[in-house]
């Protein structure tokens, strides 16, 4: 295999959680473009089906599987269904998550539980189920979705920052535990990426400028920026890399 070929995802079965919108939607299409057969996972079958159709129209392969990542039973049933359909699972982009800016004084128990259940608990148990399947077939690769907020303190984002800090540590611990099973676990940590979910805030000129002022490269992140790192971590090119949290922040955390 040439070095360039090692970046290909041809014949790889890859799961993408949170694939119904935003970063997950866009990255799923890029993974399919790199040759993967993509298992699209989210709660909304209709939104996932739109993504599937776009992938297939571009010549790629994708299938729809629904799951509620706040339910461990739903997670395990979903992974079992994918394993039965595909025969093996080669990779997971654990992308599903949420953000909700709330001043720390105003955070309620419900706010805390909602975000932690999806961002941290759901991410862990989906990775656990996928890794158990990977172990049976000789290994695999997991890319967790973190954020620069797991490294840098961001005002009014206490719960989100805590959840992503947890993802960072999970990445390291899982990488250490699962290395003997030939399972690589890494994470990506993007800065603000313009998506339908972030548009409301980023379309505010004052807010947008406040963000750009903190990024030395003076631009927002893109789906392509994120997808490039995900493809690397789920491809054979990263076979000697595990336990890494890769910042994609344009330099936000340099200072």
Alpha helix locations (H) across 98-222? 109-116, 123-136, 158-178, 199-202, 205-212
Which is the catalytic residue, given 25, 105, 160, 194?
160
Distance CA 238, CA 249 (A): 20
Reply yes or no on whether 25 is catalytic: no
Q: Beta-carbon neighbour count of residue 78 at 10 Å?
A: 23
Alpha helix locations (H) across 34-148? 45-57, 72-86, 109-116, 123-136
Distance CA 170, CA 161 (A): 14
Distance CA 109, CA 114 (A): 9
Distance CA 45, CA 61 (A): 17
Distance CA 72, CA 83 (A): 17
Residues marked active site are found at 160
């Amino acid at each position: 295999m040439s070095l360039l070929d090692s970046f290909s995802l041809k014949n790889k079965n890859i799961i993408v959680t949170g694939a119904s919108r935003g970063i997950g939607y866009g990255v799923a299409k890029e993974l399919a473009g790199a040759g993967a057969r993509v298992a699209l996972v989210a709660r909304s079958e209709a939104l996932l089906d739109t993504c599937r159709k776009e992938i297939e129209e571009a010549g790629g392969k994708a299938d729809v599987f629904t799951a509620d990542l706040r339910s461990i039973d739903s997670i395990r049933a979903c992974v079992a269904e994918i394993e039965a359909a595909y025969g093996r699972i080669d990779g997971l982009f654990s992308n599903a998550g949420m953000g909700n800016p709330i001043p720390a004084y105003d955070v309620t128990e419900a706010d805390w539980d909602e975000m932690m259940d999806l961002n941290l608990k759901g991410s862990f148990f989906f990775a656990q189920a996928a890794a158990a399947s990977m172990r049976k077939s000789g290994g695999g690769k997991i890319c967790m979705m973190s954020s620069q907020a797991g490294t840098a303190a961001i005002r009014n984002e206490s719960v989100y920052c805590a959840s992503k800090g947890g993802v960072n540590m999970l990445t390291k611990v899982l990488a250490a535990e699962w290395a003997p099973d030939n399972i690589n676990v890494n994470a990506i940590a993007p800065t603000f990426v313009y998506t339908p979910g972030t548009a409301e805030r980023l379309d505010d000129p004052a807010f947008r400028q406040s963000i750009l002022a903190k990024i030395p490269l003076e631009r927002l992140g893109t789906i392509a920026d994120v997808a490039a790192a995900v493809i690397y971590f789920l491809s054979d090119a990263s076979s000697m890399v595990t336990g890494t949290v890769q910042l994609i922040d344009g330099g936000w955390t340099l200072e």
